[in-house]
């Protein structure tokens, strides 16, 4: 009974919205909004098959490479800068500027510097998505409890071992918050780098549909992007729960006391 | 006991030193960082590592930026971007605040909408670009649609967290003193929610600028992004870099303003008071 209730809570509103959509398009679909049945049919026709391999998978591959690159580079550079007070002070204004710079403006720059190819799109994703990871790593390292640092020092834990067992774990909650932002920026940049300069990929396909007024196909592309966003968010939440299990447990204990 | 008290002044001294940097103030190091960055930018094209046609030296870009500052067209573009930013952000905040309060105050609505919100939130706003083009073309409404969609979720989630954070005892006290619905919102929920709301607005402000520029760059809505695109396709490379630097400075200014506003509005709140005392 309890299970049934929570399932109905999860499903009730989406079902209502879809019913409303069906009812609203019943008297003949408008030009801009296809009927649910049309959209479903177009979705399968458009995306299941060849397009999956020519547009969707290459885009996703670029996204994954770009985001992984941004995370690895951001954490490494963040550790390097965050552990040195002077380096932090020197880089702060420059990094603040790059964080505040809206990442899409990097596309025309990288088009010039790298040229229009796959490398450019990955470079766009890395150069836009690295800032939240980098700045959060710096902040996470900076905010480490000084008692921990002093304990490490007095036990003679230094170098890689210190980073591995003390610095990284303490900074992980902050780094994960940065990675969450990095993912959504990465997805945005993947789409618009393809809209701006490309002859393949999801963003290109969607713009192509829109320009040829293939409205149901365009909507199906929007659905694909939405699904990618939702799947990414679920994967991230799953990883975050596992990585931060100790942290969430600690917080629960602290809150209970 | 005495050991603990004796370390206290040393710790305080250390904390002070940590805050202000070792020998020089942080501002001095920051300035060195900026100068070094500009120096590298100046040297890279001068040494021929990257062709100057693709990356003009910093001095040339900054000169172009200063020249831009005297032009009306530049300020018109800034104004257009800021107008879309402001209207979009304000509309998103208003919408999210009202809906967040309505949903957050009823546990039934909270449970019923949770799945839908969690599903709609990660959908990237740029997915709506083709729809915006189809509906509004290159008008400012295109920018607004993207900005409102993206900021709405940022603010809504924060408002929901904020309303959920309201202390039960305070709420029950208000109820037993016969507070009306409006009084309860104004005097109990609002103060608890305000820090969350400000966080949402601060995040939303940054996102709104990103989407305003994106819409202008991709769709061609009027503003700085469109000017960047025009400069790029027209081969005015130094002009393009100057506009990009201007966009970044605009972003820095927005971040700073938002932080100041947040501090002002929340000056009574423990998190801000604690910061000032330290």
Give Cα A77 to chain centroid, integer Å. 19
pLDDT at B274 (0 to 100) = 57
Q: Tell me the shortest Cα–Cα distance from B76 to chain A, in angstroms.
A: 19
Residue range B37-92, pLDDT digits in tens: 998 888 888 887 877 778 888 888 899 999 888 888 899 999 999 999 999 999 99
**B133 within a domain of the structure (yes/no):** yes
Average pLDDT, chain B: 84
pLDDT at B9 (0 to 100) = 47
**Residue A226 · residue B162 · CB < 8 Å:** no
Cross-chain residue pair A226–B127, CB shorter than 8 Å:
yes
Domain that holds residue B126: 59-268
Model confidence at B21, pLDDT cuts 50, 70, 90, reads very low
**Angstrom distance (rounded) from CA B167 to CA A77:** 41
Cross-chain residue pair B33–A94, CB shorter than 8 Å:
yes
Say whether pLDDT at B17 is over 80: no
**Facing A93 at nearest CB: one of B33, B133, B247:** B33
pLDDT at B22 (0 to 100) = 52
**Burial environment of residue A98 by CB neighbours within 10 A (0 to 12, 13 to 18, 19 or more):** buried
Residue B48 DSSP label: T
Cross-chain residue pair A206–B125, CB shorter than 8 Å:
no
**B19 within a domain of the structure (yes/no):** no
Structural domains in chain B (count)? 1
Q: Where are the domains of chain A?
A: 35-256
Question: Is any Cβ of chain B less than 8 angstroms from the Cβ of A120?
Answer: no
pLDDT at B7 (0 to 100) = 43
**B124 within a domain of the structure (yes/no):** yes
pLDDT at B271 (0 to 100) = 66
Question: Is any Cβ of chain B less than 8 angstroms from the Cβ of A107?
Answer: yes
- Average pLDDT score over residue span A187-205: 82
**B26 within a domain of the structure (yes/no):** no
Cross-chain residue pair A100–B18, CB shorter than 8 Å:
no
Q: Tell me the shortest Cα–Cα distance from B183 to chain A, in angstroms.
A: 30
Cross-chain residue pair B228–A108, CB shorter than 8 Å:
yes
- Average pLDDT score over residue span B165-191: 87
By percentage, how much of chain B surpasses pLDDT 90? 29
pLDDT at B95 (0 to 100) = 95
Cross-chain residue pair A192–B225, CB shorter than 8 Å:
no
Tokens 């399932």: give the residue: A7
pLDDT at B108 (0 to 100) = 86
Q: Tell me the shortest Cα–Cα distance from B90 to chain A, in angstroms.
A: 19
**In A, which residues are within 8 Å of B23 by CB distance?**
none
B238-269 residues labelled b (16+ CB within 10 A) or e (exposed): bbbbbbbbbbbebbbebbeebeeebeeebeeb
Predicted complex ipTM: 0.81
**Angstrom distance (rounded) from CA A198 to CA A257:** 56
Measured between alpha carbons, how far apart are the two ends of chain B, in Å?
Answer: 24
Q: Cβ neighbours of residue B176 under 8 Å, at least 6 residues apart?
A: none
**B201 within a domain of the structure (yes/no):** yes
Question: Is any Cβ of chain B less than 8 angstroms from the Cβ of A10?
Answer: yes
Instruction: State the DSSP H helix or E strand holding residue A256, giving kind and residue range, or none if neither.
Output: helix A245-256
In this structure, of A35-49, A68-82, B76-90, the range with the lowest mean pLDDT score is A35-49
**Residue B152 · residue B95 · CB < 8 Å:** yes
Q: Pick one of 1.10.3720.10, 1.20.1280.50, 3.40.190.10, 3.30.930.10 as the CATH number of A35-256.
A: 1.10.3720.10
Other CB atoms within 10 Å distance of the CB of residue A172: 19
Cross-chain residue pair A230–B22, CB shorter than 8 Å:
no
Tokens 């177009």: give the residue: A42
The better pLDDT of the pair B106, B144 is held by B144
In this structure, of A233-237, B77-81, B231-235, B252-256, the range with the lowest mean pLDDT score is B231-235
pLDDT at B75 (0 to 100) = 92
pLDDT at B149 (0 to 100) = 92
Whichever domain contains B166, its CATH number is 1.10.3720.10
**Facing B131 at nearest CB: one of A111, A112, A222:** A222
Measured between alpha carbons, how far apart are the two ends of chain A, in Å?
Answer: 34
**B47 within a domain of the structure (yes/no):** no
Cross-chain residue pair A233–B121, CB shorter than 8 Å:
yes
Interface test with B, best of A89, A113, A141 (most B CBs within 10 A): A89
pLDDT at B251 (0 to 100) = 93
**B277 within a domain of the structure (yes/no):** no
Say whether pLDDT at A249 is over 90: no
Say whether pLDDT at B183 is over 70: yes
**In B, which residues are within 8 Å of A113 by CB distance?**
50, 54-55
pLDDT at A179 (0 to 100) = 92
The better pLDDT of the pair B276, A191 is held by A191
pLDDT at B273 (0 to 100) = 64
Cross-chain residue pair A112–B237, CB shorter than 8 Å:
yes
**Residue B112 · residue B160 · CB < 8 Å:** no
Other CB atoms within 10 Å distance of the CB of residue A85: 15
pLDDT at B151 (0 to 100) = 93
Crossing angle for the helix pair B107-120 and A2-24, nearest 10 degrees? 60
Interface test with A, best of B130, B157, B257 (most A CBs within 10 A): B130
Phi, then psi, of A34 in degrees rounded to 5: -75, 160
By percentage, how much of chain B surpasses pLDDT 70? 88
**B188 within a domain of the structure (yes/no):** yes
- Average pLDDT score over residue span A155-170: 86
């Amino acid at each position: 009974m309890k299970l049934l209730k929570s399932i109905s809570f999860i499903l009730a509103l989406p079902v209502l919205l879809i019913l409303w959509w069906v009812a609203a398009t019943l008297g003949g679909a408008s030009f801009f909004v296809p009927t649910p049945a049309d959209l479903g049919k177009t979705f399968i026709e458009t995306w299941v098959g060849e397009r999956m391999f020519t547009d969707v998978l290459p885009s996703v591959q670029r996204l994954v490479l770009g985001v992984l690159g941004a995370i690895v580079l951001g954490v490494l550079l963040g550790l390097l800068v965050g552990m040195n007070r002077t380096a932090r002070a020197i880089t702060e204004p420059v990094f603040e500027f790059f964080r505040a710079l809206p990442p899409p403006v990097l596309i025309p720059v990288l088009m010039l510097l790298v040229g229009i190819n796959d490398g450019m799109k990955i470079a766009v994703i890395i150069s836009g998505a690295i800032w939240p990871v980098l700045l959060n790593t710096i902040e996470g390292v900076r905010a480490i409890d000084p008692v921990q640092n002093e304990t490490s020092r007095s036990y003679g834990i230094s170098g890689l071992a210190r980073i591995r067992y003390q610095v990284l774990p303490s900074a992980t909650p902050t780094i994960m918050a940065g990675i969450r932002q990095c993912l959504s920026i990465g997805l945005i940049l993947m789409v618009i780098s393809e809209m701006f300069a490309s002859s393949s990929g999801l963003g290109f396909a969607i713009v192509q549909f829109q320009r040829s007024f293939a409205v149901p196909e365009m909507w199906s592309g929007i659905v694909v992007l939405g699904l990618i966003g939702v799947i990414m968010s679920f994967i991230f939440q799953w990883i975050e729960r596992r990585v931060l299990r100790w942290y969430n447990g600690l917080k629960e204990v602290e809150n209970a006391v | 006991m005495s050991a603990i008290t004796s370390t206290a002044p040393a710790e305080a001294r250390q904390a002070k030193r940590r805050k202000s940097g070792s020998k020089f103030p942080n501002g001095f190091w920051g300035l060195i960082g900026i100068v070094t960055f500009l120096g590298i930018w100046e040297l890279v094209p001068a040494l021929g590592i990257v062709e100057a046609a693709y990356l003009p030296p910093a001095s040339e870009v900054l000169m172009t930026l200063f020249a831009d500052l005297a032009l009306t067209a530049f300020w018109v573009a800034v104004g257009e971007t800021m107008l879309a930013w402001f209207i979009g952000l304000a509309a998103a905040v208003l919408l999210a605040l009202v809906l967040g309060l309505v949903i957050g105050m009823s546990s039934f609505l909270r449970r019923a909408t949770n799945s839908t919100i969690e599903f709609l939130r990660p959908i990237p706003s740029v997915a709506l670009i083709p729809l915006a083009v189809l509906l509004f073309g290159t008008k400012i409404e295109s920018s607004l649609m993207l900005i409102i969609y993206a900021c709405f979720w940022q603010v809504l989630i924060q408002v929901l967290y904020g309303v959920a954070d309201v202390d039960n005892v305070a709420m029950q006290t208000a109820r037993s003193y016969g507070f009306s619905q409006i009084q309860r919102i104004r005097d109990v929920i609002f103060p608890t929610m305000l820090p969350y709301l400000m966080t949402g607005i601060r995040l939303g402000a940054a996102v709104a600028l990103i989407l305003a520029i994106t819409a202008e760059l991709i769709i061609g809505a009027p503003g700085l992004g469109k000017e960047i695109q025009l400069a790029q396709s027209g081969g005015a490379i130094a002009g393009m870099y100057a506009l990009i630097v201007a966009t970044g400075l605009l972003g820095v200014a927005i971040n700073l303003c938002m932080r100041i506003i947040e501090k002002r509005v929340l000056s009574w709140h423990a998190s801000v008071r604690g910061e000032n005392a330290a």
